[in-house]
Structure 1
Amino acid sequence: MRQRGFTLVEMLVALTIFALMSVLAYRGLDAALQTRAHLTEDNRRWRDIALTLAQLEQDLGLAVNRPVRGSGGLPLPALVGNAQAFGANDAQLSFSRMGMAWQSGVLADVQRHGYRLNKGTLEQLVWPVLDQAPRSEPAVHPLLERVRRFELRYLDGSGNWQSRWPLPGMAALPAALEVVLELDGGVAVTRVFALP
């Protein structure tokens, strides 16, 4: 009995089929890996947004009516809101807040915090003292990158939204604060925080 092997044509057909299946498998694996990387980046981005909003909510929940003296010696209200930060040490939103109850020393005292958008990064500013000396500079903590717009509105006692705070004749603290974060890609996140 004679044994018969594969012909050259059969080998070429088998190799062609194997090559096509390998290309399809590679493309499927590549698509799965790209999807995984995209989802990981999206999850990280939304986690950073959630952490930033949680930090803002915590700070605003501890806001107190404690006016301060600015670095120029002029009195500042307990909460100041501007459309934009003008100087290197200015904030779009700055306010006095209670310290941390579980801390001691400076961290337990009333503190001055602020937020601003600086070159596409939302930053938290923490001043070392409430009543500032002429050269007091805040510690700057970057919170969220790739932010296009940081917009704030303040709810007064009459139920009207204001674009800045305080206005003459208004209470020291607004009833609520609306925050709009517009991110790269056109996604806008809006949150409303009630103030104490």
Structure 2
Amino acid sequence: MNRKKMDKYAKYKLAYGFSLIELLVAVAIFAAMAAMAWGGLSSIVRTRADLVREQDDFRALMRAVALFDRDLRQAVVRSVRSNYGTATVPAFIGAADRMEFTRLGFANPQAELRSNLQRVLYQLDGDKLERGVYAVLDRAPGTQPQMTVLRDKVGAFRLRYLDAQQRWVAAWPEPNGNAADGTSAALPRAVEVHLETAGYGEITRVIELVSDWPTTDPGLPGAGS
């Protein structure tokens, strides 16, 4: 065999491709790299979803606190009739874990013939913080508040009220208050709120109420707005 034919055979020999074992090794390496890349991508997606969920939860908490703050700052001296009209409910009623009051600023975008005052209440029902609104100020026998859950998984909801003598009391009106001198109709000077929530611990707010409203109750319909 001459040298020319030997060079031709050598070229064909060098043109051989990968063996089956080499292909299997390459595929195995590619599969391992793809699995690691997928695991990292999946972890990023889960982390982002958890972050979005926590952000939404925090925004919901801040909205609840802001709503609470807004309602209290708009509290006014306006007592209401009870469900059967036999008694007058004070403008502001507060207990250790519940309060009910009349507030200003009930939006009326359609200019309906109704008051811009609204009766609201806050209470802890189990582990849920609820806000209730009454459709009318002076109630009929079947009038019930429409309740909305502001926050669940609430560990505690505690309230205190600051009176005119700068003392914190656990209930409003004070047990020794006298309706004749207007004590039962007056507003506290401030409300201290303690809210314990899962994931965020305890939130404490001291909300000052508007102090320049009239100190006497304008009364029921016919005596004021």
1:156 aligns with 2:156: no
Q: 1:81 aligns with which of 94, 104, 125?
A: 94
Contact 1:99/1:107 (8 A) holds in 2: no
The unaligned stretches of length 5 or more in structure 2 are 1-10, 178-182, 211-225
Task: Indicate how the Cα distance of structure 1 residues 133 and 101 shifts in structure 2: closer, same or farther if over 3 A, else same.
Answer: closer
Q: 2:123 aligns with which of 116, 123, 144?
A: 116
The structure whose RCO (Cα within 8 Å, separation 6+) is larger is 2
The unaligned stretches of length 5 or more in structure 1 are 85-91
Q: 1:70 aligns with which of 82, 88, 108?
A: 82
What residue is the counterpart of 2:222 in the other structure?
A: none
Task: Indicate how the Cα distance of structure 1 residues 101 and 42 shifts in structure 2: closer, same or farther if over 3 A, else same.
Answer: closer
Give the whole-Å Cα distance in 1 for the aligned partners of 2:50 and 2:60. 15
Within 5 Å, which residues of 2 pair with 1:182-193? 182-185=196-199, 187-193=201-207
TM (normalized to structure 1)? 0.84
Contact 1:68/1:131 (8 A) holds in 2: yes
Task: Indicate how the Cα distance of structure 1 residues 116 and 106 shifts in structure 2: closer, same or farther if over 3 A, else same.
Answer: farther
Within 5 Å, which residues of 2 pair with 1:117-156? 117-156=124-163
Q: 2:37 aligns with which of 1, 15, 25?
A: 25
Give the whole-Å Cα distance in 2 for the aligned partners of 1:74 and 1:175. 25
TM (normalized to structure 2)? 0.74
Contact 2:164/2:189 (8 A) holds in 1: yes
1:37 aligns with 2:49: yes
Deviation at 1:110, TM superposition (A): 2.2
Amino-acid identity (%): 39
- What one-letter code is carried by the residue in structure 2 that aligns with 1:100? F
- What one-letter code is carried by the residue in structure 1 that aligns with 2:30? F
Deviation at 1:6, TM superposition (A): 1.5
